[in-house]
Amino acid sequence: MLRKRLNKDLLIFDGGFGSQLQELGMKAGEIPEYYNIEHPETIIDIHHRYLKAGADFITTNTFGANPLKLEQHKYSYQEVILAAIQNAKEAKKIKPDAYIALDIGPIGKLMEPMGTLTFDEVYQSVKQMVELVKEDIDVVLFETMTDIYELKASILAVKECSDLPIFATMTFETNGRSLSGCDPLTMVNVLEGLKVDALGINCSLGPNEMAPIIESILESTSFPVMIQPNAGLPLLEDGQTVYPMKADEFIDAIVPLVKKGIAIVGGCCGTTPEFIQKLKENCPATVTQREVSLLTRVSSGTTTVEFGKHVVVCGERLNPTGKKKLKVALKEERYDELVVEAIKQEQAGAHVLDVNVGLPGIDEPKVMKHVIKLLQEVIQLPLQIDSSNFHAIEEACRYYNGKPLINSVNGKDETMEAVFPVVKKYGGVVIGLALDENGIPPKAEQRFEIAKKIINKAKEYGIDKKDIIIDCLVLTASAQQKEVMETVKAVSMVKTLGVHTVLGVSNVSFGLPNRPLLNKTFLAMAMSAGLDLPIINPLDQELMNTIDAFNVLYNYDRDATNYIQKQAQSQVVLPKQTTSFSLNDVVLHGLKDEVKKATETALKSQDGLAIVNEILIPALDQIGKDYETGKIFLPQLIQSAEASKIAFDVIKQTFKTTKSSKGPVLIATVHGDIHDIGKNIVKVVLESYGYQVIDLGKDVPAKVVLEAYHKHHPKAIGLSALMTTTVVSMEETITLLKQEENMCPIFVGGAVLTEDIAQDIHADYYTKDAMAAVNLLNEIVH
């Protein structure tokens, strides 16, 4: 059985399918998946080549064969996938013990909030594919994934309709981030939580470029790790995209990585059967065993917080308990106030945000899901899903992007039986309250026993104690003064169980004067006893300073680096205590629901052109710098771009004419390429900077681009390609365009493009991403 061999026998995948199809006659612009039906003998031949070279797996030729990508195409996804499976079965006859892997790539559209594709649409698409052939395959392979949220929806689709093993690999850029901003540690944390059978990376990079990324993955997970690099970085020779690395160079680079503990190895673009044969000949037959420290981690889609490295601050201000304004906002569905409050806490230094929407008369599951999705649009921090409503917890966990913190369970059997299956399924970290049917015990020893019960019960559900945090419960000093020290004592005792601890700090001072003083003092006492996660108001600078000081004294903050950086400032500027933002703030944070109102307010005191030049453009420039330096990622970039577009539209209405926009600029994904994510991102960002963008769509023939040039007279033309096989189409399009006199500048981009390839196909400029396109056009378009 495949699962029994994982992390024991080194398993070998096949190599690059596209390069083999090219070698066997596939022309530029042809759709590889159609070969399953039109040229089955070619597909079977490629499978045979890799099997004979030593591959243990047959990867089906179905990378782009999803229902959404193949809608309105020549063949349905069902026809393509069934033909691919039949070809794999035929090929398997020469190696009956080979495993058939259903290959699933990205859907090809941006998910919310970056685009319009929903979580449920991804789920249904993958479910339909897997249900069609689940009896005929041995494993589902997700590869070249760029969005951890899409990958989560896809994994759940497989798990909820089958018991098939799941291998999941993402593709990362040289900066160590995926297109959507996910880093390797976040990928590991989310995929471990979802209990995939193997995880890793593929495509985009060669083995040398992948080395630091794969080493960090090996250090952070005990799960089987998979790697499928390209044969180096691409070049263009004689009109064809080629990968320069030879098989021996590939082996020299990858074998040392394999010996560090990789469990599954293969190749991606440019790797031929020769590469796979040399892998078989040079790699050890068994997996090098690794010792990995199991750490408690929670994640958003882009940010992972590890416990044990410093005190983790959980912001408490998204909980309506005791907050009249928040209660009213929730009842009146004014969720923008929650978003603003979340941003303030993030700015103040919180690491995690508690989210509670529990009020009488509210449909809590519906509201919790909605609020979680709203917060994920603008906040990079992990969220704590806080509810006593089991349905609300499950709904939030399902649509949460990352690995959530779940608050909570307690020592009651019925509560654990309701919540633990959700924690297990969606892979969260759960908070266990040290109370049971008899309430909160007065003594530390009794709370300690409940904590042990929770940990042991969780183990029965397959939940490791690293995914449990115990709340020893804070009682008010005004009513239960002697129990305060019992809480501190319980924290110290629970730490001996090997779990982390959490406390709602401000409860201690309820009903007493000068609450901040009591809170600060109790916080210091609790941290000394082992408190890891204080739930506090991060806008309380005294509390935050206390934590910074503790991190120094406890040797968390090495060389007092963080402390010095904060305290060296002559004056600490706190986030404004307000539920409204300026237009600049609204654009910076991508608050689309507030931007119209903020723009209209700004227009009361400023001229529209002044707002554009003095507020919008500087804000967008700041967003661009933050994106380029890795301070923010693609979701935040797009949110800000969309917000600024709304502001521009409002301002345009005040102008006498609308001819002030820049451009026009023509953009298209070239013929034969049905991937348009990158092109769509460029469109949104260019429009946010005031450019008129004419989008010709995807799979656009060269003559259509030329016709559009004559019709619209653009100031520049942008061409995009994701597939190596369509770089030729891009070159043909450029060649046709440049036959025209005084042709406008042509810029190109896409995953397979480099500066060298852009020059080889005679493009005028290469842009690596959307902001590079903006910077270029700001220079060349007048």
Structure confidence by residue, pLDDT tens digits, 707-716: 999 999 999 9
- pLDDT of 232 over the 50 cut: yes
Residue 60 CA to residue 46 CA, distance in Å, equals 11
**Residue 773 and residue 676 share a domain:** yes
**Residue 760 and residue 630 share a domain:** no
> To which H or E segment does residue 168 belong?
strand 166-170
Angle at 613 (CA atoms; ends 682, 379), nearest 5 degrees: 55
Note the pLDDT of residue 114. 84
One DSSP character per residue, 274-336 reads: HHHHHHHHHS-SBPPP-------EEE-SS-EEETTSSPPPEE--S--TT-HHHHHHHHTT-TH
**Residue 221 and residue 167 share a domain:** yes
Residues forming a β-bridge with 9: 286
Where does 203-277 show beta strands of DSSP type E? 225-228, 235-237, 240-242, 264-265
Note the pLDDT of residue 655. 65
Task: Give the residue-averaged pLDDT of 333-350.
Answer: 94
**Residue 113 and residue 230 share a domain:** yes
Percent above pLDDT 90 for the chain: 77
Q: Which two tokens stand for residue 743?
A: 């042709």
Residue 522 CA to residue 515 CA, distance in Å, equals 11
- CATH assignment at residue 736: 3.40.50.280
**Residue 741 and residue 605 share a domain:** no
Contact 355, 386 (CB under 8 A): yes
Residue 273 CA to residue 542 CA, distance in Å, equals 63
465: DSSP letter: G
497: DSSP letter: T
- pLDDT of 577 over the 70 cut: no
**Residue 666 and residue 647 share a domain:** no
Note the pLDDT of residue 658. 43
Contact 145, 170 (CB under 8 A): yes
Note the pLDDT of residue 653. 81
List, for residues 454-505, the tens digit of each pLDDT value.
999 999 999 999 999 999 999 999 999 999 999 999 999 999 999 999 999 9
Contact 315, 543 (CB under 8 A): no
How many domains does the chain fold into?
3
Note the pLDDT of residue 580. 64
Note the pLDDT of residue 673. 76
Domain's final residue, options 223, 257, 282: 282
Residues forming a β-bridge with 716: 665
**Residue 608 and residue 712 share a domain:** no
Residues forming a β-bridge with 432: 409, 470
Contact 153, 71 (CB under 8 A): no
Residue 337 CA to residue 340 CA, distance in Å, equals 5
Region class of 473: left (phi > 0), else alpha (psi between -120 and 50), else beta = left
Domain's final residue, options 282, 312, 329: 282
Note the pLDDT of residue 300. 97
- List the alpha helices (DSSP H) in 530-570: 541-553, 561-567
- pLDDT of 8 over the 80 cut: yes
List, for residues 534-564, the tens digit of each pLDDT value.
999 999 999 999 999 999 999 999 999 999 9
- pLDDT of 449 over the 80 cut: yes
Domain's final residue, options 652, 676, 695: 652
Task: Give the residue-averaged pLDDT of 361-370.
Answer: 96
Helix/strand/coil percent split, the chain, to 5: 50, 15, 40
- CATH assignment at residue 273: 3.20.20.330
Give 358's Cβ-side CA count (13 Å radius).
17
Note the pLDDT of residue 621. 83
Note the pLDDT of residue 581. 82
List, for residues 636-670, the tens digit of each pLDDT value.
888 888 888 898 888 878 765 444 578 899 999 99
Range of the domain at 699: 662-780
List, for residues 287-300, the tens digit of each pLDDT value.
999 999 999 999 99
List, for residues 510-537, the tens digit of each pLDDT value.
999 999 999 999 999 999 999 999 999 9
Among 36-45, 383-392, 755-764, the least confident range: 755-764
Q: Give the pLDDT band (50/70/90) at residue 201.
A: very high
Residue 752 CA to residue 469 CA, distance in Å, equals 44
3-class SS at 375? Answer: helix
Residue 675 domain flag:
yes
**Residue 672 and residue 745 share a domain:** yes
Residue 412 domain flag:
no
Among 11-25, 183-197, 255-269, the least confident range: 11-25
**Residue 701 and residue 642 share a domain:** no
Where does 499-552 show beta strands of DSSP type E? 500-504, 533-536
- Average pLDDT over all residues of the chain: 92
Angle at 490 (CA atoms; ends 489, 496), nearest 5 degrees: 105
Residue 457 domain flag:
no
Residue 165 domain flag:
yes
Measured between alpha carbons, how far is residue 113 from residues 306, 377, 395, 592, 593 in Å?
Answer: 26, 6, 18, 11, 13
Residue 767 domain flag:
yes
- In terms of DSSP bridges, do strands 533-536 and 662-669 run parallel, antiparallel, or are they unpaired? unpaired
Query: How much is the CA Rg of the chain, to the nearest whole Å?
Result: 28
- pLDDT of 426 over the 90 cut: yes
Residues 6+ apart with CB under 8 A from 29: 671, 672, 725, 726, 728, 729
Residue 259 domain flag:
yes
3-class SS at 718? Answer: strand
Q: Give the pLDDT band (50/70/90) at residue 685.
A: confident
One DSSP character per residue, 411-439 reads: S-HHHHHHHHHHHHHHT-EEEEES-BTTB
Note the pLDDT of residue 504. 97
Residue 237 CA to residue 245 CA, distance in Å, equals 14
Measured between alpha carbons, how far is residue 721 from residues 628, 727, 759 in Å?
Answer: 22, 6, 15
Lookup result for tokens 């600029």: 665
Q: Give the pLDDT band (50/70/90) at residue 450.
A: very high
Residue 545 domain flag:
no
Measured between alpha carbons, how far is residue 501 from residues 16, 97, 235, 510, 738 in Å?
Answer: 48, 48, 53, 21, 66
**Residue 186 and residue 37 share a domain:** yes
Note the pLDDT of residue 556. 94
**Residue 173 and residue 34 share a domain:** yes
Note the pLDDT of residue 657. 46
Note the pLDDT of residue 675. 65
- pLDDT of 242 over the 90 cut: no
Residue 372 domain flag:
no
- CATH assignment at residue 609: 1.10.1240.10
Residue 398 CA to residue 219 CA, distance in Å, equals 28
- pLDDT of 575 over the 60 cut: no
Amino acid at 772: A
Residue 647 CA to residue 748 CA, distance in Å, equals 29
**Residue 642 and residue 616 share a domain:** yes
Among 575, 627, 639, CA closest to 775: 627
- pLDDT of 579 over the 70 cut: no
Q: Is 203 annotated as a binding residue?
A: yes
Note the pLDDT of residue 540. 95
